[in-house]
Chains A and B, each alone.
Chain A
Amino acid sequence: MQSSEHLLEMREITKAYAGFRVLDRLSLNLRRNEIMSIVGQNGAGKSTLMKILCGAIPFDSGEILLNNRPIRPKDPHHAEELGISMVYQEGGLIPDLRVYEYLFLGNEDRFGRSLQRKKMKEDAKGILDYLHIAADPDTYLRDLSAATAKMMEVARSFSTIEIAEKSGSQKTTPIIILDEPTAALSLEEKQSLFKRLEEMRSRATFLFISHVTSEVLRVSDRVCVLRDGKKVGSFDLHDTHLTEEALHQLIVGKVRGEDYYSTKLSKFQEAVNKEAVLRVNNLSKERLYQGVTFDVHKGEILGLYGTLGSGKTEIGKTIAGILKQDEGYIEKDGKRLELSSLSERAESGIGYLSGSHEEQLFPLWSISRNISLPSLDRMLSTFFRVIGFLDPSKEDELAKVMVKKLDVKPPDIGKPSGELSGGNKQKIVLARWLAKNTDVLILVNPTAGVDVGTREELYELFREMAGEGRCLVLISDDLDEVIGLSDRILAIEYGRISKSFGEEDIRKLREKEGAVAL
């Protein structure tokens, strides 16, 4: 067989958990010495793909060819023998080690029982030179810049692969998987990391995972977009000009055909009067967002839109009390809210709903209890209220009403919430806040991972809730969703409000149907 241009080929890889396909016949190939980016939303299958490649989990069907020979990584060590190593998003570094100690951590045996430090340092220097990393092997990791430290993790992957291969047989171009390497880096550090990655490209093939579209476009040779476990497409950036916005749309996908734009605007617009319920004043947080000021009125759905990494999510989390702002304040009904106190927010009527229900629900608890949890004060038993006894029948009563109102399927309030589908889990979290009479809801990607049908139901519920006079702050990566639901949209760019779209603008946007105009 002649050598193919592909270093690695994945053919129709499928992986399912409990019948649910997280990877669906995914085919992907890697060339030698390229930087290939894998992008996609949470749950698109990126991390499953990575874990399969580095041997952390097995795959169900399909095959992986490395240099035209089928492989099946059994565990991370086996993957390293094959020449595949992963640099995790965080946690790989040990600040109190010196560079040379770190590079050979776990492989010290090579240097004899008494550790020939001199040899270790020489070898470390060799690796660093080979990878064009200018650093002294004697330095402590804690003294390195964040970008150089990240490079050290890459260098360690190199040394591990090299050592593993020596004990194995053949030599090949190493494949190094970088899982969101820029997550903790500042802007300058990112630039420096990218520059060095390019320099190192002649030595390895990189698989780059990132959420930030601008970085992906800047650094990669090719981009592969995943959505719902399937490949949407892969693009050679040297041939194709892909804009950030286009890539973003590929990642989140379009919600086609549904006519939620057609709902009469006036119907829920009526409820809007100019009473500001929530007032955000000059909110700033270093590196995330600056000088954000806006009001949200009664009965209004305010959309915040921006590309991934624009800071819109963090603004929402700050309003919800999860993050703490450095400057500025938030007022609700004219009352200033304390810094970062979720329980105070909940008491004053601010609820938070995000796309990741696993961080919001108690999967083993019943639907009923998951709904009543923040409202237990109203669930006290009539006779024993003094000693704080709860009356489960009151909880069930409340849950029944909510389950009916939100049409949770199945409507079995005793069922553990963990057994529900994603969309129904979202309904439970929503029910929780409705039950507490929450009048401000912060929705962050509320329909992520929800099937199209249930998604429509959720949209209907959001509109209904606004119609009842609540205010909703909708923060979503899905542009159509934002345009379709919002009464007003604020565009967020680099942590600032760059543009505001009123009723008229939105009407026009809706007419263009999903036009990418921001």
Chain B
Amino acid sequence: MRLKSEQIIIVLIVALPAIFAVLTGGRFLSTYNVSILMERFAIFMLVSLGGTFVIVMGSLDISYTGVFNLAGYMTAIYAAQYGPLAIIVGLCVGLLFGGINGLLFTKARIPSLLVTLGTLGVSQGIVNYVGGGEAMWGLPVGGRLDFLLPYIFPNLPEKGITLFAWAVAATLLCFFIARFTKFGLHTYAIGSNEEAARLAGINVDRHRTMVFVLSALLAALAGILNVPYAENATAGAASGLLFITLATIVMGGTPLSGGRGGPHRTIIGVYILVVLLDGLTMMGVGTVELQVIEGIVLILAMLSVIRGSKTTQITT
């Protein structure tokens, strides 16, 4: 009997935590570890949402870790001077880079993978330049951005829980945008058949630009929220997330060829990866080994998607 990928996913969702709980003697499901899981889930989810839209559209955006870092860092710098208003600076970083990505992709016709590889370099370079050595160690922000992560659940005085609430809200919003708005439908339409979308009168270039802007805005939001959560801004806050996020999106069920999947599928991918990585860490697997495992997971995710769909061509 051949298992369908849907069935494998359901088994993984239930079995992974159970296996880790047994292997760690219950520590995996302790209140403390569950809160850790939720925080990591929140960060991964916030970072993956924008990329999901881009992949549904049949393109790729890998500039988000740079935008994440730059938006977070700029917000931290300006927070010292302007307080809460500094988040505007962070969001503008997203707007700017999203716009650049979109325009270079649609007007200059550079493949999206290459465009965003370039802007990834530029945004990351700016953080390193502006921050200098300080950015390596982290720029403390004190409590200036704490208003972003209020203690909304009095019984759970953890910033991580509020971050989780942010992630849930953002995910819900993205899900509804993808499923129930013109913006969302146009994104799916372009991803499944660009030519048909054009012939149906969709302004494909403009829409693509808008999706890149949305993607970068979400990355910037994640970067900004990460600052009060981590209590400082570092140049490399998100750098380790680059490939793992691609893996979560694809593993969740959004194929690189576009047109299918969506934010609700990314939840599954993030869940499985967070549980897997956390469980392995608890079992004593080191960071270096984890990197290798992340890479293997990414490849396996791609394989499963390519095997599952008839079109193996990756449109970037």
Contact = CB atoms under 8 A, between A and B. Distances in A.
B35 interface: no
Given A362-B189, A389-B176, A343 B181 contact: no
A255 to B, nearest CB: 26
B196 A377 contact: no
A344 B203 CA distance: 8
B185 A376 contact: yes
A337 to B, nearest CB: 13
Interface in A375-425: 376-377, 379-380, 387-390, 392
B203 A390 contact: no
Interface string A349-362: 00010000001111
A216 to B, nearest CB: 29
B182 interface: yes
Given A359-B195, A359-B196, A373-B189, A388 B183 contact: yes
Contact of A432 (B181, B186, B200): B200
A352 B204 CA distance: 16
Interface string B180-220: 11110110010011011011111110100000000000000
Given A373-B189, A389-B176, A360 B181 contact: no
A362 B199 contact: no
A390 B182 contact: yes
Nearest to B203: A343
A373 B192 contact: no
A373 B185 contact: yes
B226 to A, nearest CB: 26
Max count, chain B CB within 10 A of own CB: residue among A322, A345, A376, A377: A376
Interface residues of B, number: 21
Contact of A343 (B183, B195, B201): B201
Contact of B200 (A322, A360, A379): A360
Contacts of A343: 198, 201-204, 206
B180 A374 contact: no
Contacts of B176: 389
B181 A388 contact: yes
A458 B179 CA distance: 33
Contact of A361 (B180, B196, B198): B196
Contacts of B180: 389-390, 392
Contact of A374 (B177, B192, B193, B200): B200
Contacts of B193: 359, 362
A362 B193 CA distance: 7
Contact of A360 (B177, B199, B203): B199
B86 to A, nearest CB: 26
A490 B255 CA distance: 47
Interface string B160-184: 0000000000000000110011110
Interface string A89-113: 0000000000000000000000000
A475 to B, nearest CB: 15
Interface of A: 322, 341-347, 352, 359-362, 364, 369, 373-374, 376-377, 379-380, 387-390, 392, 432, 436
The 10 closest A-B pairs by CB, nearest first: A346-B201, A343-B203, A376-B182, A374-B201, A388-B181, A373-B200, A374-B200, A360-B199, A342-B198, A343-B201
9 contacts: A342-B201, A343-B202, A343-B204, A346-B200, A359-B193, A360-B196, A377-B182, A388-B182, A436-B201
Given A388-B181, A390-B180, 6 more contacts: A342-B201, A343-B206, A376-B182, A379-B182, A389-B176, A432-B200
